[in-house]
With several copies, the nearest count.
Chain A
C-alpha cells in the first residue's frame, strides 16, 4: 500500500537493493537509503546516481537494477517502452523552477521579464533536458522571449554559473537553490507551469523485487516525503 511504512514489511526484505536514481536525488536518496537500512537490518541499499538518460540507457542494456527513480517521465518511458518496468511508474516528487541569482542579486533581477534583457547574462537548460523544457513552458506562459547566453546540459551546470557569478540570472529547480547557500532564489508566478514529475518504478529484471517494492514504499512514506520536502520537493 502507498501508505505503508518501511517498518511494517521489514521482515520480508533482505539482501541488496540496487537503486538507479537521478543525480539530483543524490542527497535525499542517500539519506533515505540510510534510514531504510536502519529500518531493515541486513538490507543493503546500493545507489547508482547519474543522468536520468544515461541510467535509462544502462537499464536498457541490462544493468542489474531493482529500482529506477528518474528526474523526468520521458526517461522512465524509455525504459517502459523497452519492457523494463514491472507494473506502473508512480510520481513520488515534484520539482518546480525558481529564478536563481548570485548573492546580492547584482543585476537586480525581479522576474521572468528580465530574461529578455539583452544586457543580462542568462543561463538556461537546453530544451532537450527537462529543466529546459519546463523553462520554455514558463516563458511561453509569461510571454517573454528569453535571450539566454548558454543552454546548459544539466541544471547543475547552470547552478555552477550562477554560483560563480558568470551569469546574472538563471532558471533552476527549487531544490537546487536550496542545496547551496551561495545563490538566492526568486519565485515567480508562472512556476506552476514548470512542475516536473519524478517517477519511480520497480524494474522487470529486478533481482530483489521485494526489496524494490519496500524501498519505493519507503520513499513514499511520511518519513520519505519529509526528507524530500526538506530538500525543496513537492510531494504528491
Chain B
C-alpha cells in the first residue's frame, strides 16, 4: 500500500493547493448552498410532473441538436481559422468570440433582426419558403447554437493548432484531398479536443436562457426549455425553481462526468 502510493514528487505545495482548494470551494459551495436549500420533499412531485419532464426532454434534445449544428458548422470554421490561408484571421477569430460577450438577450434581438419575420434574411425565408423560425423548436436550437458555438470553435481551433500538420502532408502525398485528409487523418487525431469542445458547447447550450427566450419565445412543449421553466418558476415559486435547477445540474454533471472521464482523462 505505502509502496504503491509513494509519491515520486514531494508534498503538494501549499501555495498551489491552498488557492486550488479555495477555488474549488468557490465553485462548489454555492452548489452545496442550492442543494441544502432545495425543498427536497417536492422533488419527486416536480420531477414527475409532466411539464418538467417535457422541459427536461426539450432541453436535452435542443442542446444536443444545437451541439450537432455547432459541430457541423463549427469544426469546419475552426479548421478554416487554424489552417485556411484566409486574410485577417486575427480579427475573424476575435469576432467569433463575440457571442460570448454579447448579453444573451441582445444576442436574441440580433437573431430576430436577421432571422425574424421582418429580419434581413427572415423576410425572404418567410415570403419564399413560408419558413418562420421564431417561436419554434428550431428557433431554440438556433439560439442555443449561436451562443454555444464560440466554445466549440475556440477549443477545436486550439486542438488543430497543436496537431502536427505533417500528417496532413503525408496524406496529401498519398493522393488525399484536403477534405479526405481532414476527415480521415486530422479529425481522428484531434478527437479529444473536439470532444472537450463539444462538452463545453453542450453545457452552454443546455444552460442557455436569454437568447432562447428572446428569439424563440416560450411555449410549453415547443420552446420551454429547463432554464426558461426555472426562470418562470422563480417568479412564483422560488423553491421550485431551485429544485428544477438542481435537476438540470445533476443531469448535466452525470453526462459530463461520464463523457469527460471516458474521453479526456484517457491520455494523462
Q: Which residues of A contact B (CB under 8 A)?
A: 20, 23-24, 26-27, 46-51, 53-54, 57-58, 61-64, 74, 121, 123, 126, 128-129, 148-153, 156-157, 160-161, 163-166, 179-180
A153 near B219 with CB under 8 A, answer no
Q: Are A129 and B134 in contact (CB under 8 A)?
A: no
Q: Which of B105, B219, B228 has its CB near the most chain A CB atoms (within 10 A)? A: B219
Chain B contact-residue range equals: 20 to 34
CB distance from A73 to the nearest CB of B (A): 13
With A61-B112, A61-B134, A63-B135 known as contacts, the answer to whether A153 contacts B218 (CB < 8 A) is yes
B219, B222, B234: the one contacting A160 at CB < 8 Å is: B234
Q: A64-B132, A164-B113 are in contact. Are A58 and B235 (CB under 8 A)?
A: no
Known: A57-B109, A61-B119. Contact between A50 and B236, CB under 8 A?
Answer: no
B218 x A166 contact (CB < 8 A):
no
Q: Which residues of A contact B117 (CB under 8 A)?
A: 61-63, 121, 164-166
Check A26 against B112 for contact (C-beta < 8 Å).
no
CB within 8 Å of A: which B93-122 residues: 105, 109, 112-113, 116-119, 122
- Judging by beta carbons under 8 Å apart, are B135 and A149 in contact? yes
Q: Are A58 and B236 in contact (CB under 8 A)?
A: no
28 pairs, A vs B, C-beta closer than 8 Å = A20-B217, A23-B232, A26-B235, A27-B235, A46-B222, A47-B219, A49-B232, A49-B235, A50-B213, A50-B218, A54-B234, A57-B234, A62-B116, A62-B117, A62-B132, A63-B116, A64-B132, A126-B218, A150-B135, A150-B223, A151-B218, A160-B109, A161-B134, A163-B238, A164-B113, A164-B118, A166-B117, A179-B236
Closest 4 CB pairs of A and B: A150-B217, A62-B117, A61-B116, A165-B118
Q: Which residue of A lies closest to B115 (CB)?
A: A61
If A63-B134, A129-B232, A166-B118 touch, whether A152 touches B238 (CB-CB below 8 Å) is no
The interface centre, meaning the residue of B222, B232, B234, B238 with most chain A CB atoms within 10 A of its CB, is B232
Q: CA of A24 to CA of B234 in the docked complex: distance in angstroms? A: 10
A123 touches B217 (CB 8 A): yes
Which A residues touch B220, using CB under 8 A? Answer: 46-47, 151
Residues of A within 8 A of B223 (CB): 150
Complex Cα distance, B139 from A121, in Å, reads 15
Q: B238 to A74, Cβ gap below 8 A? A: no
Residue pair A166, B235 in contact (C-beta under 8 Å): no
For A48, the chain B residues whose CB sits under 8 A away are 135, 217-219
On B, residues with C-beta under 8 Å from A are 105, 109, 112-113, 116-119, 122, 126, 132, 134-135, 213-214, 216-220, 222-223, 228, 231-236, 238
Q: Nearest Cβ in chain B — how far from A31, in angstroms?
A: 11
Chain A residues, Cβ within 8 Å of B218: 47-50, 126, 150-153
Interchain CB contact under 8 A, B217 and A152: yes
What are the residues of chain B within 8 A of A128 when measuring CB–CB? Answer: 232-233, 235-236
Which residue of A has the minimal Cβ distance to B135? Answer: A149
A153 CB contact (under 8 Å) in B119, B132, B235: B235
**Smallest distance from the beta carbon of A233 to chain B beta carbons, Å?**
15
Of all chain B residues, the one with the shortest Cβ separation from A102 is B118
Q: Which residues of A contact B122 (CB under 8 A)?
A: 62
Instruction: Tell which of A53, A151, A165 touches B234, judged by Cβ atoms closer than 8 Å.
Output: A53
* Chain B residues with CB under 8 A of A148: 219
Q: A176: nearest residue on chain B (CB-CB)?
A: B235
Verify B228–A153 contact, CB threshold 8 A: yes
Residues from chain A with Cβ under 8 Å of B132 in the complex: 62, 64
- Could you say which residues of chain A place their CB within 8 Å of the CB of B216? 150
What residue of chain A has the Cβ atom nearest to residue B221's Cβ?
A46
Query: Which residues of A are found within 8 Å of B113, using beta-carbon distances?
Result: 61, 164
Q: In the complex, which of the residues A26, A62, A153 contacts B118, with contact meaning CB atoms closer than 8 Å? A: A62
Asked whether B217 lies within 8 Å of A161 as measured between CB atoms, the reply is: yes
